[in-house]
Amino acid sequence: MKKKIWWLGLSFLMVAALVLASCGPSEVGEQEEEEEEEEEEEEPVAGEPQYGGEITYLTWLTFREPTSWDVAKNLGTCVFSDPFQEQIIGGDIEKYGPRGSNVWAFNAYGESPEDYDRGVLSESWEATPSSLTFNIRKGIMWTGNEHMGMEPRELTADDIAYALTYFWKESQYGPGAFYYVESITATDRYTVVVKTNQYDFGWFFWMGSGHGSNIFCRETVEAGFDDWRNQCGTGPFILTNYVESSYTAYKRNPNYWDTTTINGKEYQLPFLDSLVLPIMPDESTQIAALRTGKVDFHERVPYKYKGTLASTCPELNAHMYATGATMFVDFACGESKYADIYMQTPTALDTKWTNRNLRRAMMIGTDLKAIAKGVYGEAIIHGMWGGPGSPAHTPIEELPPEAAVLFDYNPGLAKQMLADEGYPEGFDMEMILAPAQRCDADIAALLVDQWAKIGVTVKLVPLETTVMSQQRFTRTWKDSALNESSYPVRVFQELCLGEQAANNASFMDPYLQEQYKKAAATTDVAKRNAMLKDLAIYYVEQCPRIQLPASYSISYWWPWIKNYYGETETGFSNLMPMVSRMWVDQDLKAEMGH
């Protein structure tokens, strides 16, 4: 069997990457000057499906090691669990995406709006102010797992209730995300009822297709969730191997329940025989692997590589999109109640960050356009809350003056504001970051330089990714933290309800809490969106975090990958609806020398 043995020796690509894949923003700028008009993207043609073959692909989370396979406690693991674990609902790419009506591109970071979802493990659902009811599909089978002595069996409502309750009780997100939940019960073999004390529109993210919504079985938890060999699911693939710091491998689930119709003919999914997900932290190595065809597709390539990939690999299909993902600087506005979960003591609060004017001065002293050009080549200056196109987004030119001034770089004004707040000579501060994460080091270097011009001296505190994540939740950090986030639905709940685990700034604002709960309980979508739009503006004005430019990304795939249209999200980074519908044109791949 031809397994990815080459993968363990892929380090040679590091050398090639340094020569071939170096592509700074200046090179992107030169490339854009030569190409005044954007090339139109060619839509791939599906053609006649083929079964068999293997795909190796990269996602934005493949720089992370799945240190725990417990998706409730290590949410980044979901990328490696999605091939075999499914959700209750998910994005309907066939009806609403580019291969259908094309009303939603399925590229928004971590979001699949409820209006464009379909039932996955559920056939249907009903949401009211007092309950959520999920009607589970009959006949879906757990694959079983010989390692833990589990035979294949049918998925039931008990399984769904168990997984949701586990997330609610065991995840650091659970108490906040499920604040409106009173009970979760399987009322019969195929019905799950969630009793609620109010309606919250975020239910479809947390329970349906986003964080914590991967459905796992009781047998896995009891056998040991952290052991990859104990994993079991209902999805299109079965986990077959995990090599630490190298890759995860999967084979086709021959009894998968879902189908697709192409050219009027129904096909059982998936088409592929196997998948490989490399664990590849180094960005230049990722690009070199894509360039040489070692990786069949990469769904989130930074914009800065656009120029070199266009010139060295013109055969690659490409789809550029705005993810809605933003980097930001959180200020230590309050203490965390979550430190006790980790048995740690929060860092003593520096009360200067409770000063709204001080936080606003820091953002006014941040040159967002320079960061956009210097780090990304091109980016959206105001991309928070889902970015342009999101119902909660307000363009800078339409913001009220109190918010718009924050996006206008003015170091003179920023310095005067600091003096007005008692810091005429500036001050010293710390900022934690994870240099292994994409762009963190580059952004941090620019911030250090920019803030020095207004009298603020920054000490950078680099951390490993896992340590960074832990300190974010516990607030065992001082002054500020450089982070990334988006997920419009989740962001509203977490940032407006101050007690949320991922409200890293611990920003507590009674007005936000009160108004969010009113908006979240509003079932009229248009009315709710208007309320959320007002809340988003208010939050920007308070400036508990400096929102940095939102990057563009590009999805690249080789021509032998068929039936792919550039979609990247059907929930939280879930590519499986797309991957299960892809096939490999084996002849074309051979013709191209791969």
Regarding whether 403 and 292 lie in a shared domain, the answer is: no
Regarding whether 573 and 455 lie in a shared domain, the answer is: no
Q: Which domain holds residue 396?
A: 323-551
Regarding whether 129 and 95 lie in a shared domain, the answer is: yes
Spatial CB neighbours of 38, under 8 Å, sequence gap ≥ 6: none
User: If you count DSSP H runs as helices and E runs as strands, how many of each does the chain have, helices first?
Assistant: 21, 23
Residue given tokens 């499986």 in the structure block? 576
pLDDT at 17: 40
Percent of the chain exceeding pLDDT 70 equals 85
Q: What are the tens digits of pLDDT across the range 225-284?
A: 999 999 999 999 999 999 999 999 999 999 999 999 999 999 999 999 999 999 998 889
Q: In angstroms, rounded to a whole number, what is the distance separating the alpha carbons of residues 174 and 576?
A: 25
CATH number at residue 528: 3.10.105.10
Number of domains in the chain: 2
Regarding whether 161 and 109 lie in a shared domain, the answer is: yes
Q: In angstroms, rounded to a whole number, what is the distance separating the alpha carbons of residues 380 and 237?
A: 37
Report whether 415 contacts 454 (CB < 8 A): yes
Structural domain includes residue 159: yes
Spatial CB neighbours of 573, under 8 Å, sequence gap ≥ 6: 59, 60, 61, 78, 79, 82, 110
pLDDT at 293: 96
pLDDT at 281: 84
Regarding whether 404 and 486 lie in a shared domain, the answer is: yes
Closest CA to 299 of 579, 6, 4: 579
Structural domain includes residue 405: yes
Residue given tokens 């079964």 in the structure block? 51
Regarding whether 478 and 429 lie in a shared domain, the answer is: yes
Regarding whether 327 and 311 lie in a shared domain, the answer is: no
CATH number at residue 297: 3.40.190.10
Structural domain includes residue 580: yes
Structural domain includes residue 533: yes
Structural domain includes residue 75: yes
Task: Write a three-state SS string for 19-69.
Answer: HHCCCCHHHHHHHHHHCCCCCCCCCCCCCCCCCCCEEEEECCCCCCCCCCC
Regarding whether 239 and 125 lie in a shared domain, the answer is: yes
Regarding whether 445 and 368 lie in a shared domain, the answer is: yes
Q: What are the tens digits of pLDDT across the range 453-511?
A: 999 999 999 988 778 777 777 777 889 989 876 656 666 777 777 666 567 777 878 88
Which of the four pLDDT bands, split at 50, 70 and 90, describes residue 110? low
Structural domain includes residue 91: yes
Other beta carbons within 10 Å of 428 = 9
Task: Write a three-state SS string for 509-533.
Answer: CHHHHHHHHHHHCCCCHHHHHHHHH
Structural domain includes residue 17: no
Q: What is the DSSP letter of 238?
A: E
Regarding whether 249 and 360 lie in a shared domain, the answer is: no
Structural domain includes residue 408: yes
- Specify burial of residue 533 (Cβ count, 10 A radius: 0-12, 13-18, 19+): middle
Q: What is the CA radius of gyration of the chain?
A: 24
Q: What is the DSSP letter of 141?
A: E
Calculate the dihedral angle through the C-alpha atoms of 439, 372, 487, 100, rounding to the nearest 10 degrees.
-110
Consecutive H or E run containing 169 = helix 157-170
Q: What is the DSSP letter of 438?
A: T
Regarding whether 369 and 333 lie in a shared domain, the answer is: yes
Regarding whether 520 and 563 lie in a shared domain, the answer is: no
